Chains A and B, each alone.
Chain A
Amino acid sequence: KQEVTQIPAALSVPEGENLVLNCSFTDSAIYNLQWFRQDPGKGLTSLLLIQSSQREQTSGRLNASLDKSSGRSTLYIAASQPGDSATYLCAVEETSGSRLTFGEGTQLTVNP
């Protein structure tokens, strides 16, 4: 059964820092990996989707990488801002199923 782990569970940084969030998964037979952002009282917003054949995706200050063979992904946030404060979730979709398996998330706080 696929398991997704995110480290750290919580992270607090001063504004302007570059930071890395980590995601690992146990079964490398994945279709894709998505990073989401969840704000309190709101739904999930997809940030980046990496297909299994890709190594990375970039959107603005965000860069996500995927190493399928080692079961790891990282989300890099450059020049963090207080508005980046949220919970970041990693999810994988397996080739064998039709579900997203989520990690429990990293709660990020960016302090002004």
Chain B
Amino acid sequence: EAQVTQNPRYLITVTGKKLTVTCSQNMNHEYMSWYRQDPGLGLRQIYYSMNVEVTDKGDVPEGYKVSRKEKRNFPLILESPSPNQTSLYFCASSVDRGLEAFFGQGTRLTVV
């Protein structure tokens, strides 16, 4: 089944404790991205990647890192999480920009 898989689905952590949210797609898509969704602000792009080893900042990249060492994986790294990073995170992929986007089921992160 074609899908984008995020892990974990739910995470509660403490301020400053490094964490990684994984994202994997099985559709051989070139383009992958991360979004966060907050009430009143909608979905906003954090980072995106056009291909392996090619990443770029989105609208809200502060406090996040990403890597794209393999085509299928695009992990989101929070080196020192803070409470303002409490949010619902989505990973997405598409064959290329401008084409249908497939989203993962989301990761609800709470930083206390």
Contacts and interface: CB of A to CB of B under 8 A. Distances in A.
A105 B101 contact: no
B5 to A, nearest CB: 10
Given A99-B33, A105-B42, A43 B98 contact: no
A104 B102 contact: no
Contacts, number: 60
Contact of A104 (B4, B35, B40): B40
Interface of A: 4, 31-32, 34, 36, 41-46, 49, 51, 89, 91, 93, 98-100, 102-105
Contact of A49 (B44, B97, B100): B100
A30 B111 CA distance: 36
A51 B102 CA distance: 17
B110 to A, nearest CB: 15
A103 B31 CA distance: 22
Interface of B: 4, 31, 33, 35, 40-45, 48, 50, 56, 58-59, 90, 92, 97-106
Contacts of A99: 33, 45, 48, 58-59
A89 B43 contact: yes
Contacts of B50: 98
Given A43-B4, A104-B42, A98 B97 contact: yes
Given A98-B56, A100-B45, A31 B103 contact: no
A75 B47 CA distance: 29
A56 to B, nearest CB: 16
B97 A93 contact: yes
Chain B contact surface mostly: strand
Contact of B106 (A32, A43, A89): A43
Contacts of B45: 99-100
B43 A31 contact: no
Given A31-B98, A41-B105, A100-B33, 9 more contacts: A43-B90, A49-B100, A98-B33, A98-B50, A99-B48, A100-B35, A100-B101, A102-B35, A105-B42
